[in-house]
C-alpha cells in the first residue's frame, strides 16, 4: 500500500504507507501527505527506510535506533546499511531535515550517524567541500580567526 506525497513544488510522488506509522505528520483532507522537499530521491529514501524498518524485529530496531551498535548487527542488516548510506550529500542533508520535521527518530539517528562518519577526521575545508559550503571570509580574516582560535587546532 502506498500514500501520495505532495512536494513543495506542487508535484506528487508515492511512498510506502509505513512512512505514516513512523511520522507525526498527518495527511491532508485529500489523503495526501505534504513534505518540505522537491527531491523525489529524498522521499524514496524515507520510503525505503520505512519499509525496511517496519519489517525488523524489536532487537533489530534497537540496533537501528542506536547506530553505534551496527557493528554487532547481522550481515543482512550491515549490507542494507551500507547500501542505504550511499547517497548524494544534498539528499543526506534533506533526509536529516525531513526526518527531523517528520519526527522520524530512527531515521534521524541513522542519518546523524552517517553524517558523523563522513565528517570524522576531516578538515573544515574538506567538510565544506563535501557539503558544498563556500567560505565567505578573505585570507586576512581567516588568518585572524585561526590565530584567535588556535586552541581548537583548526
Residue 131 lies in a domain: no
In a domain, 21, yes or no: no
Task: Provide the grid cell at 109.
Answer: 539517528
Task: State pLDDT tens for residues 37-63.
Answer: 888 888 889 989 999 998 988 888 888
Identify whether 55 is part of a domain: yes
Per residue in 131-149, pLDDT (tens digit) is 888 888 898 998 898 889 8
The DSSP line for 50-90 is HHHHHTS-HHHHHHHHSGGGGGGS-HHHHHHHHHHT---HH
Asked if residue 27 is part of any domain, the answer here is no
Which structural domain, as residue segments, surrounds residue 81? 40-120
| Of residues 146, 115, 117, the one with CA closest to residue 131 | 115
- pLDDT category at 121 given cuts 50, 70, 90 is very high
Could you tell me if residue 98 is inside a domain? Answer: yes
- Determine whether 99 is exposed, middle or buried from the number of CB atoms within 10 Å of its CB (0-12, 13-18, 19+): buried
In a domain? residue 104: yes
**How many folded domains does the chain comprise?**
1
Asked whether residue 67 is domain-assigned, the answer is yes
Would residue 91 count as lying in a domain? yes
Amino acid at each position: 500500500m502506498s500514500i501520495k506525497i505532495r512536494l513543495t513544488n506542487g508535484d506528487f510522488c508515492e511512498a510506502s504507507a509505513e512512512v505514516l506509522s513512523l511520522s507525526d505528520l498527518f495527511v491532508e483532507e485529500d489523503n495526501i501527505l505534504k513534505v518540505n522537499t522537491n527531491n523525489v530521491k529524498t522521499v524514496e529514501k524515507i520510503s525505503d527506510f520505512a519499509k525496511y524498518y517496519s519489517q525488523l524485529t524489536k532487537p533489530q530496531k534497537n540496533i537501528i535506533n542506536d547506530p553505534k551498535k551496527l557493528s554487532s548487527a547481522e550481515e543482512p542488516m550491515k549490507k542494507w546499511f551500507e547500501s542505504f548510506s550511499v547517497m548524494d550529500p544534498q539528499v543526506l542533508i534533506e533526509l536529516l531535515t525531513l526526518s527531523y520535521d517528520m519526527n522520524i527518530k530512527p531515521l534521524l539517528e541513522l542519518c546523524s550517524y552517517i553524517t558523523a562518519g563522513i565528517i570524522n577526521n576531516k578538515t573544515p575545508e574538506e567538510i565544506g567541500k563535501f557539503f558544498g559550503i563556500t567560505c565567505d571570509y578573505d585570507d586576512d580574516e581567516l588568518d585572524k580567526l585561526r590565530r584567535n582560535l588556535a586552541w581548537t587546532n583548526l
